[in-house]
Structure 1
Amino acid sequence: MSDDENESRRDLRMPNDDEVFAVVTNMLGANRIRVRCADGVERTARIPGRMQKRIWIREDDVVLVEPWDWQDEKADVSWRYEKSEADQLRREGHIQ
């Protein structure tokens, strides 16, 4: 790797055992979004209160979601990646 690549590479937050990568496909309102998860499932995700005012989530953003144990078609958003971080994840092959 060149120095430029090493310099631009950052250590990113990776998913825990119960989290998956997802891409926001649709804004539903009422703090809910539609996401397409890396495991192939389309889910309705909830933006928790601690993120609502601090982090702005838009369509095509890459996020980490935590699917619910008792209802697989729903999830909670646990992290949002910046555009540059999402590009790095794509380059490294973590997401499509």
Structure 2
Amino acid sequence: MSDDEGGRTNLRMPEDDEVFAEVTDMLGANRVRVRCADGEERTARIPGRMQKRIWIREGDVVLVEPWDWQDEKADVVWRYEKSEADQLRDEGHIQ
């Protein structure tokens, strides 16, 4: 179903310890700076399984899983397409 039809797609939502975040800066070495929905700025790591398959750019909306032993760091779990990010904004999940 395309966006032109006005249909809502089911999106991956955060699980227990995951939060929405927006990529603010590319740091290199498979790391990005993200601003999380809980107000924290974190350095997030892009795992190997995502590096070659999914391109992450500044401004992208992602799901991150903060590290429980070091709160200023996180792992990127999922990246939303632009249309999916717009849908999340429309539904009030993110600003």
| TM-score normalised to structure 1 length | 0.93
1:36 shift after superposition = 0.1
Match of 2:26 in 1: 27
Report the number of matched residues.
91
Residue aligned with 1:78, SS: strand
Q: Distance in 2 between matches of 1:54 and 1:24?
A: 17
Counterpart of 2:37, as a letter, is A
Cα distance in 1, alignment partners of residues 73 and 24 from structure 2: 14
5+ residue gaps, structure 1, are none
Tell me which residue corresponds to 2:53: 54
The aligned counterpart of 1:40 is 39
Match of 2:83 in 1: 84
Segments of 4+ in structure 1 off by > 3 A? none
TM-score (norm 2): 0.94
- Offset at 1:85? 0.2
SS in 2 for 1:51: helix
Percent sequence identity is: 86
